[in-house]
């Protein structure tokens, strides 16, 4: 799908040109260092039902998968472009919701020369200092860039812009498409201007299918990149077939298949010739190991083989 085609159905939001420049310079700098760069998409998209939107179609995605995976990719040495739903889970911060640090952190004395001094009982915020350090290391090294979306339209344009930024990296670029993107939308031309009145009785809406961006991504936007999509189902009996079908239709490299109820402890990494089950044992859960560490470990090895194959 060309940029003009995307803009016809989904009008280009403000700020995309600036974000494209920021993403292009982020990836170019890391590419020049010989670093691999991954685009991690994360969280759900919001679809307005009205032009002056009061109501939206949204979904369950918390962004936890994307945030935890971004941390694992950074630890593995990747540059991470994190395209995430505003207010969804954020790398290094998502384990510390306000209720944890609001009560644990205390001013340790009056602010001095503009410096705020805080202290906390280490046990009240386990992992907090390490998370802060990891985030600040990534920020100082320039290996992490977060870009926010809220609506489906913003997501689609930012994905295209991110692909434009990553494409020059060829096989060193990875796309890790963990966001839960709406399959349905109301075209701007068919949207009511104002809040849909409840006085009209039960609501019937016809939504159009969102075009699958995996197709232009694989064919045109970043044809040399290593591309991973995710497939979520609620019926375990169909998820692998659906994953295989996606691989056949879009011809990308990997689908990570997961089921809603078990998504944090079990996934299947599906490729053209393999199915690898990744499972967290109870001991691993107790040790605080997360399934994303295993997913990223597996994909990093596959990415290495992919790069070797292309060179």
What is the contact surface with ligand PAZ in residues (CB under 6 A)? Answer: 61-65, 178, 180-181, 230-232, 258, 263
CA angle 243, 66, 63 (to 5 degrees): 100
CB neighbours of residue 273 within 10 Å: 5
For the purposes of burial, counting CB atoms within 10 Å of the CB of 162, is it exposed (0-12), middle (13-18) or buried (19 or more)? buried
Question: In the chain, how many H helices and how many E strands?
Answer: 10, 14
CB of 35 to ligand PAZ, least distance (A): 25
Nearest distance, CB of residue 89 and ligand PAZ, angstroms? 7
Shortest Cβ distance from residue 242 to ligand PAZ (Å)? Answer: 8
Shortest reach from residue 261's CB to ligand PAZ, in Å: 11
Nearer to ligand PAZ, 135 or 266 (CB): 266
- Quick one: 31 or 292, whose CB is closer to ligand PAZ? 292
Task: Specify the residue, 3 or 148, whose C-beta has the smaller distance to ligand PAZ.
Answer: 148
Of 27 and 258, nearer to ligand PAZ (C-beta) is 258
Give me the residues paired with residue 56 across strands: 48
**Alpha-carbon distances of 2 from 5, 24, 131, 139, rounded to whole Å:** 5, 18, 40, 33
Q: Which is nearer to ligand PAZ, 172 or 258 (CB)?
A: 258
Smallest gap from Cβ 119 to ligand PAZ, in A, equals 33
Q: Is residue 143 classed as helix, strand or coil in its secondary structure?
A: coil
Q: How many whole angstroms separate alpha carbon 175 and alpha carbon 167?
A: 10
Which residue's CB is nearer to ligand PAZ, number 157 or number 231? Answer: 231
**DSSP of 275-308, one letter per residue?**
EEEEE--HHHHHTT--HHHHHHHHHHHHHHHHHH
Q: Are 293 and 72 in contact (CB under 8 A)?
A: yes
For ligand PAZ, give the closer residue by CB, 42 or 160. Answer: 42
In whole angstroms, the minimum distance from the beta carbon of 61 to ligand PAZ comes to: 4
44, β-bridge pairs: 180
* Min dist. Cβ of residue 309 to ligand PAZ (A): 26
CA dihedral 262, 156, 171, 271 (to 10 degrees): 30
């Amino acid at each position: 799908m060309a940029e003009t085609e995307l803009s016809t159905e989904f009008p280009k939001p403000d700020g995309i040109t600036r974000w494209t420049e920021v993403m292009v310079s982020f990836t170019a700098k890391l590419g020049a260092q010989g670093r691999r760069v991954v685009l991690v998409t994360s969280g759900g998209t919001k679809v307005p039902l009205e032009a002056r939107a009061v109501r939206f179609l949204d979904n369950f995605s918390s962004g936890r998968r994307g945030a935890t995976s971004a941390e694992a990719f950074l630890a593995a040495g990747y540059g991470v472009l994190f395209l995430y739903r505003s207010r969804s889970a954020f790398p290094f911060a998502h384990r510390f919701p306000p209720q944890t640090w609001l009560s644990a952190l205390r001013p340790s004395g009056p602010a001095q020369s503009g410096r705020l001094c805080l202290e906390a009982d280490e046990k009240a915020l386990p992992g907090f200092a390490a998370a802060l350090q990891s985030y600040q290391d990534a920020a100082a090294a320039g290996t992490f860039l977060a870009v926010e979306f809220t609506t489906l339209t913003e997501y689609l344009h930012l994905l295209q812009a991110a692909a434009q930024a990553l494409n020059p990296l060829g096989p060193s670029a990875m796309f890790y498409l963990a966001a839960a993107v709406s399959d349905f939308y109301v075209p701007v031309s068919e949207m009511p201007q104002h809040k849909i009145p409840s006085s009209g009785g039960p609501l019937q809406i016809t939504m159009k299918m969102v075009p699958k961006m995996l197709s232009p991504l694989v064919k045109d936007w970043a044809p040399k990149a290593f591309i991973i999509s995710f497939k979520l189902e609620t019926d375990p009996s169909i998820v692998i077939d659906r994953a295989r079908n996606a691989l056949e239709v879009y011809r990308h490299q990997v689908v990570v298949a997961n089921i809603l109820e078990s998504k944090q402890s079990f996934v299947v990494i599906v490729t053209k010739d393999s199915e690898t089950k990744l499972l967290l044992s109870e001991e691993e859960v107790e040790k605080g190991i997360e399934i994303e560490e295993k997913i990223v470990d597996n994909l990093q090895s596959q990415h290495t083989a992919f790069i070797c194959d292309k060179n």
